[in-house]
Structure 1
């Protein structure tokens, strides 16, 4: 599959997942907004009804008080000196409103039942009859209008008296808080809300007159305010505050259906990202393998060609007559054979990467002694290049459990790289150090070579990776050495990292667990 096709597939799928996530989040947000609006509307409607109930209760209370006062006045009037007037009968006491209504009905009845003089009968023509009826109807309407306005003024007087009394009373005398709590619970239940609540009543001075135990000011968004008796003067308005501690649970209750869907979408997105990363990694590994095959072909072709040429020279009888030439040709064949064997051995290292864990022959060794032994074997190569190799052994506890052959190859690989990537005009300087850090031993190998960029230092342990564009370098190699180093160190339960700056050399830091001596 082409790289461009992979990129196109990745972009399309990633965009689709993002769009799906966006739609889910948008739908969840819309659902939350709807639930919040629904909750607000239900609460506000309930509190408005509570306010209306309180107003009606107050009006009924004052009308009852007015009735009691009227009864008392009427009783006092009956017991006075004018109580024996002829023709006056005792009637039940009535409130102002009832007296107004009865007076109006009595006068209307008296007017309809007023006796007429039977002896006086006047005969009129139809034209006079129509005129008389129209005039009488007009006068009756005017009379009713005057009486209605009069009785309305009396009723307004009663209502004004109620308003004046109520606005001058403190709020705690106008409301029964237990009844108020029952009203709130009933109206909330009637509007479909059965959530727990707490409430408080605040007077016009912003002083809390009453507060239930469940009321709290922690969440301002869960507190709803309703003006009590809004017809009171603006300077004497009281208010009711209701707190819902479970409002958040009510709003988010619908989201329980979306959370599994959202989780599965995230899992699919993560799986897709992991798949695409693996696909790109495999693509990159395939390109590296192709580069490896090209490099390997060149590396193997050279010694094979040299051996073939030397073999043909040995067929010449004149070569056999010259011992020096014969020795030189056989030496070339021997060197190239060793070189070919070394290259084949490096290729065989690839089999290690196909195994989850390498079979190691572990044994206890002294890391300081092992470092000194490797340095003594490598110092000749360094001195041949007019360089130097120093060893600094600071580790006091240096007993480790490793595979001697593989761990020796690890150190040799790092030292060989230090010489291969040296500065051509500067003698190589290598430093090997050991030190303890907790229950670990730290082995550092530092050189003064050409170094590498920091981003290359992070990738240098990858298979087939070689520092330089196109994974090629002017120094021969397959890009397997440091990958082999990292795998062996990891199999030894250790870690390795590279620190480098371009042009300033490279430092490899190996950390291995030590055996605690009892």
Structure 2
């Protein structure tokens, strides 16, 4: 139906956004005789989609200042946002397309928020990747430093058994003619055990390499914890006495048989006792105690060493880590 309101003055700002796509209808005949409302609506929406606009418009055709029957459902003249002049004469526009978008604000907001979300998402991914690379770089740098320290510390780890062997050999050279067979066997036993300990150190390095490759397998067999502990303490008695110190062992009565890997267990014990002696500032005084409860064995090593600060405690189980003051 035709409206009575004149539109000769136009609405909003003229634009050429859709110029050209209605050229087929540039005729002096009324458009309502050339195209239906549904065809016009389909044509408009198709053209808008080509231009990236996905929301449906409300529209109306004005000819000679009056609305004609080409009009979308529920069109409201007071909401018109765009006035496209399609034809004009000396007296002004003769054919106009009025248009507005009922959900325009929501559509624009959704596009803005979508773009904002995508931008934030990719920014987050980039920041996460950046900080991950930074963290990995710091980790690799720290690992390189720690491994370098480990290589230099390996020579230090061999000093203890070599020093013990040297002390035993010196004692034999100085006092060998005054020793009885039992005493000589004792010192020779120390030399042999320290040699075995050096071999065990080399074996532990190989085992750590295997652990990195997840190839290490524990050889479980019955073993006597008390016997292992006594052997480990005897290894270090000479070292402690050389520094005018002592190391003693106290074992509660009990059955200390268990399944375990003897080599790995001995390595842990010797490292623990060695550190207790090595990091004592004065004459080492080390007490080792073995006890048994209902469901566990307890080995306690008490020393009067330099101790560990909080930073060292946090890293004490890191591979290759060694305290700086050590």
Structure ID, larger Rg? 1
TM-score normalised to structure 2 length: 0.44
Higher strand share: 2
Higher helix share: 1
TM-score normalised to structure 1 length: 0.31
